[in-house]
Amino acid sequence: MQPHEINQYIQEKGYFYLNEGELDVHLFHEGTFYKSYEFLGAHAINRFEVNAVRFVVWAPNAHQVNLIGEFNDWDPSRHPMQRIKNSGLWQICVVNVQPFDSYKYHIVGPDHSIHYKADPYAFHAEERPQTASKYYDLSGYQWHDDAWCIQRDQSDPYHSPLNIYEVNLLSWRQKHDGKQYSYHDLAHELIPYVKDLGYTHIELMPIMEHPYDGSWGYQLTGYFAPTSRYGTPKDFMFFIDQCHQNDIGVILDWVPGHFCKDAHGLYHFDGGACFESSDYERAHNEQWGTVNFDYSKPEVNAFLISNLFYWHELYHVDGIRIDAVAYMLYLNFGGQLLKNKYGGVENLEAIDFIKKMNQIVFQYFPHTLMMAEESTSWPMVSRPISDGGLGFNYKWNMGWMNDILEYMELDPIFRKGFHKALTFSLTYAFTENFVLPLSHDEVVHGKKSLLSKMPGSYEEKFAGLRLLYTYMMAHPGKKLLFMGGEFGQFIEWNEWQALDFHLLDYEAHQKLKQFVKDLNWTYRQNNCFYELDTSYDGYEWIEVDNSNESVISFERINKKGERLVIVLNFTPIERKNYPVGVTIPGKYETILNSAAIKYGGTMANGPQIYTSKKELMHHRYHAIRITLPPYGGLYFKLKED
């Protein structure tokens, strides 16, 4: 047939098939196709002078796959897909598909059961409760974040400030009529808010498409589709672009461990075990009612690693926080009695996948952040694979978080018996590259908000929370605070409603927010807090064992040997003339006082200056004697002459 005859035939028939992409097919089944989103899914093509959209889907167990959508009145007989030779992939090229057209795959399983599935590689989806995919062309967005990307790729995250504001977009703020903000609304309101408070990064709880708001985005159906709750994919690109233009990095939460059982999602995708294992116990996560990925399948490896490439390359994200890594590492972490082939409880395939994932991602995106939420004592999570580690570059410090929150909830009279909870974290603080998280998980399910956890009177609760933040910011490790913590949300986080920003009408909450802002900027402007953040060279105890008075003090040190002195009082008792040993004699000036009147405390707002005297104290030859306020945290800096 001549080209014009082929063109006419295709236009009359409405679809055609292509015999091309053999290398892509091979690499996908080999598990090494790290841009598989460029082949699978729905993509515009031009062949035989015909504009069409090619659909490719992985359904190895299927008896037949048909494409259904708005363009064929959802009729399975109109567009039968063709299995690509010697593969588990199916394809069809369809003319007259329009942007935003909804579609699904009508899959006939090996037992002839019928399954209506969204596209695992779809770039866009219908807004819940609708469940179809939408054809969407990602090309054409004009980025304006070159300056940010250059600066990011030249920076050293280990020796730079990293202070993260964790956000659930649905419940940060809502409009007066209860409607959710769009990506554009959030760009205009969330970004200036975060920038003013002094955070360096925003971490978004999963924004990949998910059916149920109550899952917080941790049970996904569309890994390649930013949720349509807030707009289109290009709207989300705009949000990230605006973050970068305002010098704010973006970290996405990501869930490579498990997925939900919703009928249109990945579960039982082609009528058989596709993304999951055929072993029921290995496949099913009974604790969460979800299904685990099967990392032994090369195609699952390609799917997940491609997803990381996708968010980095097409959306310019600056990092990924990997959820529930412990559930990936251990076969029995969810309570199941499973063993590997050697009789151990480690998930060998998941471990191999994690190492491969990190190795490949850092090969192509060397300046990204790969943060593991890993809650066990698994060693070397954030150490290089070449040294025997898992290859992440950060790990959430769940031990510090549990210890400090348990300690802060105690009545101060009992704290002296639990002093180790304050100090134990320093025995392992440099075994990993840690992030200190006060995350969403700590303010839900009856755990109370951070402010409500604090014991004592109304005023003491605020003082205790300021003290907690003061300790957190001075403790080695990067920082993360969940939204609402900055102004003292009193009730637990509720994903169905906006934060209680009306609390800022009250003075105590206003002052707490101002304190958090000043604390964040104090952290960023003093490199003693972060320049040697991964080494004992950057930390030195002054007083570690004063359990009777519940006081600790220490120094944070930069590369030049300059020191900040941190003194923290975890009781409601003022201590006058309190001795603090100092390494260098001179005048010491407060650069932050959590008990200042402007923050809701009782001490004068201006900096206090204390002159050291020759006095053997805390293994040092000089000391300052200070007024240590109740529930007070003080940062001191040697005053230059």
Residues acting as catalytic residues: 323, 373
Neighbours of 287 (CB within 10 A): 12
Contact (Cβ atoms closer than 8 angstroms) between residue 86 and residue 124:
no
d(CA 216, CA 634) in angstroms, rounded, equals 37
Contact (Cβ atoms closer than 8 angstroms) between residue 28 and residue 36:
yes
369-372 vs 394-396, strand pairing mode = parallel
Q: Tokens at residue 368, please?
A: 């990204």
Going by C-beta distance under 8 Å and a sequence separation of 6 or more, which residues neighbour residue 315? 226, 236, 237, 240
For the chain, how big is the Rg over CA atoms in Å?
28
Sheet holding 609-611, edge to edge: 539-546, 551-557, 563-569, 633-638, 587-593, 609-611
Question: Which residues are paired to 180 by β-bridges?
Answer: 174
d(CA 204, CA 219) in angstroms, rounded, equals 15
Half-sphere exposure of 118 (CA within 13 A, CB side): 32
Contact (Cβ atoms closer than 8 angstroms) between residue 631 and residue 567:
no
Indicate the SS3 state at residue 415. Answer: helix
* Cis status, amide bond into 129, omega within 30 of 0: yes
Q: What angle do CA 235, 239, 244 make, to 5 degrees?
A: 145
Contact (Cβ atoms closer than 8 angstroms) between residue 203 and residue 162:
no
Per-residue three-class SS string for 224-287: EEECHHHCCHHHHHHHHHHHHHCCCEEEEEECCCEECCCCCCCCCCCCCCCCCCCCHHHHEECC
